[in-house]
Amino acid sequence: MELIKVTIDNKVVEVEKGTTILGAAKKVNVDIPTLCHFKLHDMNIENKPGGCRICVVEVDGRKNLAPACATDCTEGMVIKSHSVRVINARKTVMELILSDHPFECLVCAKSGTCDLQSLAQQLGIRKIHFEGKKSSYRLDTSPSIIREMNKCIMCRRCEMMCNKVQTVGALSAINRGFDSVVSTAFEMNLKNSTCTYCGQCVSVCPTGALTEVDDTARIIRALADPSKTVIVQTAPAVRVALGEEFGMEPGTIVTGKMVAALRRIGFDQVFDTDFAADLTIMEEGSELLNRLGKHLAGDKTVKLPMLTSCCPAWVNFFEKQFPDMLDIPSTAKSPQQMFGAIAKTYLADKMGIKREDLVVVSVMPCLAKKYEAQRDEFKTNGNPDVDFSISTRELAHLIKQTIRDFDSLPDEDFDRPMGESTGAGVIFGTTGGVIEAAVRSAYELHTHKKLPRLNFEELRGLEGIREATIDFDGLPIKIGIAHGLGNARKLLEDIRAGRSHFHAIEIMSCPGGCIGGGGQPLHHGHSSIIKARQAAIYKEDAGKAIRKSHENPDIIKLYDEFLGTPLGEKSHHLLHTEYFNRKK
Amino acid sequence: MATTEIVLKEKQVQQIKDICKQFNNESGELINVLHKTQSLFGYLPSEVQVVIAQELNMSLAKVFGVVTFYSYFTMTPRGEHPIDVCMGTACYVRGAEKVLEEFKRQLKIEVGETTLDGKFSINSLRCVGACGLAPVVIVGDKTYGAVTSADVKNILKEYENK
Ligand code: SF4
Ligand code: SF4
Ligand code: FES
């Protein structure tokens, strides 16, 4: 490792050879603005086209200004990060970008969290000195995502996410010069492309070009309708991220305040998706044991490994890209859909109302859940099990419209019965969590012995692909974990080629799992935020009185009163699904 | 940008596959593959791009991205009599733009488009290296030199009954 010395704004710093000026500046806390450059540390995610030039700096002895994100340090370099020349150049660059940007900030969905807006503010832009043509593209609306490319600044972060990280390939830069834009093949609607609705492009877009479909107005309408009972479920990853929208430290757990806020907004009952996560474990865990038992008995028709199926973007991915492997994932529905199916039958009966008069809303860290809720398989006579699915960001908007000070809300608890949950349900929100929850229950159901421990550190972490072997009382169970669809693809290709040695694999589409979901508060490239959310998830789990899904008293009651047994006829009908070849 | 749907014949699919194979199905050879395929079919309709994406194991969006990046590639079939107007510097300063405008006006199509009857298409080219004849127009195999907008009508007339 070769070290070199550079001077930035009179501060001397030693960096490894190959470090960019931007990287060196970070080390000495010199803030250089960036726009197209994007990096999630420790996750191997970087966008570095060097295209926007907002990051230019002055380098002694060089005629031209250098883009800090794309210029490597050399020995003895002397750098000025904010000379008059630099500031003027940045302003010019910003004005040029803005000269082809619609001035709709006041009513833009990204207002307040837009990188372009905050940078314009930071640079003190008061007037655009250039007048030119403005791009004009048609709006592309899908069940989950809206593309408004008039607001695109061609940073190509979305393209990097979709191609390099997710390997979905729905997006690419097209055309050249003024006409260039990021688009789908043949500029078809996103709906018809290979898009999985993972929302990772949305989560890195610095402008309002890519946003989620906003369902909050429809929810307000339902809440105002006296003939409807409106209930809500909240996914585990929401409670460890929502606080960020109200200025709290990343990793703050706001479960109680979130419940209180939802009641004040007017939901009739506030429930927990964690309850449905426990239910998922009952079904998925039983399915795993069932497949495993048959496999060990020599039944060659049983496919192993079994893959988890609770991530809807992952389901879209394999339906579109691996249609030859539809029998490998578990048939268990996702927790969102299990919740909806039970709410519109068991709960509606208990409440004495018709399913049509019960409106089920879910709050998810995810944009793919919007599409999932609209799938035909999850409707009865046209009435969906989940009526509306909104993101963590949309919930924050809804709260801001209704409540003055989120911080000072009291902590309140979920309603029962579908609000009772365990620590196993909570950890569904992070990569490694679903499989850990499954292990906690499958172990005890299989061995009929008490687990000697509850924390499976070997399954935790943020490494893209992880593996571990868990001893099921003499039976070694091999487990694989992947997050990010590019990593999932690798495991799938291994299975297809007959190289996979796993019994079970957990897959989540988003980097970090649901905590890094496409519907979460924007992390603006700070992976420390995702780590803080993950730590919060495990903290919430550790604090729970019950930490194994099969010990959830309301789940036990649900099977006694209504479902019968896991994988039984009723469970099969309500809690399992099938997959379709959606390759075009 | 959608072109009229076409169904490739089995033989045509095989021809595309053969071209890809000549380049070892390497995604890095995309431009060469597109070039060869276009010289075979005259243009690159979406159906052709689908096959290429599959053969080179790359995303369709990327293939489309490259096709739309280079003005040489086209997704519309060229006319029976393709009209190329040179827009190199020499031709440009001698009024090639006016000539191009006149072709567009008479045929009621834009650059890159083909007339509804399939007879003519217009393209603008970078320098064709016949600067002495500027402005230069090429129709099919025939080259016209020192063209003015007043000549456009007569040039088109030559092909009307062909
Ligand atoms: S939602 Fe995911 S799959 Fe779809 S375009 Fe964005 S990054 Fe690609
Ligand atoms: S859509 Fe957003 S992320 Fe994608 S290139 Fe445009 S501005 Fe960048
Ligand atoms: S941030 Fe460096 S060129 Fe865009």
CATH code, domain with A94? 3.10.20.740
What ipTM does the predicted assembly reach?
A: 0.83
The answer to whether the Cα torsion of A359, A362, A363, A366 is positive or negative is negative
Residues whose CB falls within 8 Å of the CB of residue A96, separated by 6 or more in sequence, listed in order = A130
Query: DSSP assignment of A399-462, as one string?
Result: HHHH-S-GGGPPP----SSTT---HHHHGGGSTTHHHHHHHHHHHHHHH-S--S-S--GGG-S-
pTM of the model: 0.90
Residue A356 sits in a domain of what CATH number? 3.40.50.1780
Cα separation, A363 vs A197, whole angstroms: 16
Cα separation, B134 vs A297, whole angstroms: 83
What share of chain A has pLDDT > 70, as a percent?
A: 100
Determine contact, residues A85/A66, Cβ cutoff 8 Å. no
Q: Which of A110, A369, A370, A531 is catalytic?
A: A369
The 3-state DSSP class for residue A52 equals: coil
What's the mean per-residue pLDDT of chain B?
A: 90
Check whether residue A313 and residue A449 sit in a common domain: yes
Q: Assign B4 a pLDDT band (cuts: 50, 70, 90).
A: low
Best residue for ligand 2 mutational test, from A146, A150, A153 (most atoms within 8 Å of Cβ):
A153
Q: Please give the pLDDT value at position B21.
A: 96
Check whether residue A351 and residue A324 sit in a common domain: no
Q: Cβ separation of A185 and B1 shorter than 8 Å? A: no
A533-536 LR contacts (CB < 8 Å, sep 24+): A533/A237, A533/A240, A533/A241, A533/A250, A533/A251, A533/A429, A533/A430, A534/A430, A534/A462, A535/A251, A536/A240, A536/A251, A536/A252, A536/A253
The tens digit of pLDDT for each residue in A479-518 reads: 999 999 999 999 999 999 999 999 999 999 999 999 999 9
Check whether residue A327 and residue A474 sit in a common domain: yes
Residue A444 sits in a domain of what CATH number? 3.40.950.10
Check whether residue A443 and residue A492 sit in a common domain: yes
Report yes or no on A182 lying in a domain. Answer: yes
Q: Where are the beta strands (DSSP E) in A311-375?
A: 358-364
Report yes or no on A129 lying in a domain. Answer: no
Q: Is A54 in the pocket of ligand 3 (CB under 6 A)?
A: yes
Cα separation, B55 vs B49, whole angstroms: 10
Q: Please give the pLDDT value at position B74.
A: 87
Q: Assign B3 a pLDDT band (cuts: 50, 70, 90).
A: very low
CA angle B81, B85, B87 (to 5 degrees): 160
Report yes or no on A580 lying in a domain. Answer: no
The tens digit of pLDDT for each residue in A47-59 reads: 988 889 999 999 9
Report yes or no on A124 lying in a domain. Answer: no
Q: Which tokens sit at A370?
A: 């919007």
Check whether residue A313 and residue A340 sit in a common domain: no
Check whether residue A353 and residue A499 sit in a common domain: no
Residues of chain A with pLDDT under 50: none
Q: Look at residues A39, A72, A99 and tell me which one is the last residue of a structural domain.
A: A99
What's the mean per-residue pLDDT of chain A?
A: 95
Pick among A165, A168, A179, A186 to test the B interface (most B CBs inside 10 A): A186
Q: Is A200 in the pocket of ligand 1 (CB under 6 A)?
A: yes
Domain count for chain A, please give it: 4
Tokens 């030559």 correspond to B158
Q: Look at residues A373, A408, A443 and tell me which one is the last residue of a structural domain.
A: A408
Check whether residue A167 and residue A261 sit in a common domain: no
Determine contact, residues A340/A386, Cβ cutoff 8 Å. yes
Check whether residue A429 and residue A474 sit in a common domain: yes
Cα separation, A7 vs A397, whole angstroms: 44
Tokens 């970090």 correspond to A512
> Which residues on neighbouring strands pair with residue A270, listed in sequence order?
A232
Q: Please give the pLDDT value at position B1.
A: 42
Report yes or no on A279 lying in a domain. Answer: no
Report yes or no on A340 lying in a domain. Answer: yes
Centre a 10 Å sphere on the Cβ of residue B88 and count the other Cβ atoms it contains: 19
Determine contact, residues A428/A277, Cβ cutoff 8 Å. yes
The tens digit of pLDDT for each residue in B107-116 reads: 999 988 889 8
Distance from the Cα of residue A266 to its chain's centroid = 27
Pick among A138, A163, A166, A172 to test the B interface (most B CBs inside 10 A): A172
Query: Which residues in chain A are contacts of B69 at CB distance < 8 A?
Result: 173-176, 180
Check whether residue A443 and residue A533 sit in a common domain: yes
User: Residue A34 belongs to what domain range?
Assistant: 3-99
Say if residue A131 is exposed, middle or buried (CB neighbours under 10 Å; 0-12, 13-18, 19+): exposed
The 3-state DSSP class for residue A567 equals: coil
Q: Cβ separation of A194 and B69 shorter than 8 Å? A: no
* Residue among B46, B49, B61 minimizing CB distance to A170: B61
Check whether residue A233 and residue A306 sit in a common domain: no
Report yes or no on A120 lying in a domain. Answer: no
Give the distance (Å) from ligand 1 centre to CA of residue A287.
30
Check whether residue A158 and residue A9 sit in a common domain: no
> Which residues on neighbouring strands pair with residue A358, listed in sequence order?
A229
Determine contact, residues A67/A51, Cβ cutoff 8 Å. no
Cα separation, A40 vs A511, whole angstroms: 10
Check whether residue A70 and residue A180 sit in a common domain: no
Report yes or no on A14 lying in a domain. Answer: yes
The tens digit of pLDDT for each residue in A200-233 reads: 999 999 999 999 999 999 999 999 999 999 999 9
Centre a 10 Å sphere on the Cβ of residue A65 and count the other Cβ atoms it contains: 21
Taking 80 as the threshold, does the pLDDT of residue B5 lie above it? Answer: no
Give the distance (Å) from ligand 3 centre to CA of residue A51.
6
Cα separation, A72 vs A20, whole angstroms: 4
Instruction: Report in angstroms the alpha-carbon separations of A313 from A195, A334, A515.
Output: 9, 11, 14
The tens digit of pLDDT for each residue in A86-105 reads: 999 999 999 999 999 998 99
Write down the H helix ranges in A191-254: 200-204, 216-224
Q: Look at residues A77, A99, A121 and tell me which one is the last residue of a structural domain.
A: A99
Among A419, A461, A392, CA closest to A250:
A392
Cβ of residue B140 closer than 8 Å to a chain A Cβ: no
Q: Is A35 in the pocket of ligand 3 (CB under 6 A)?
A: yes
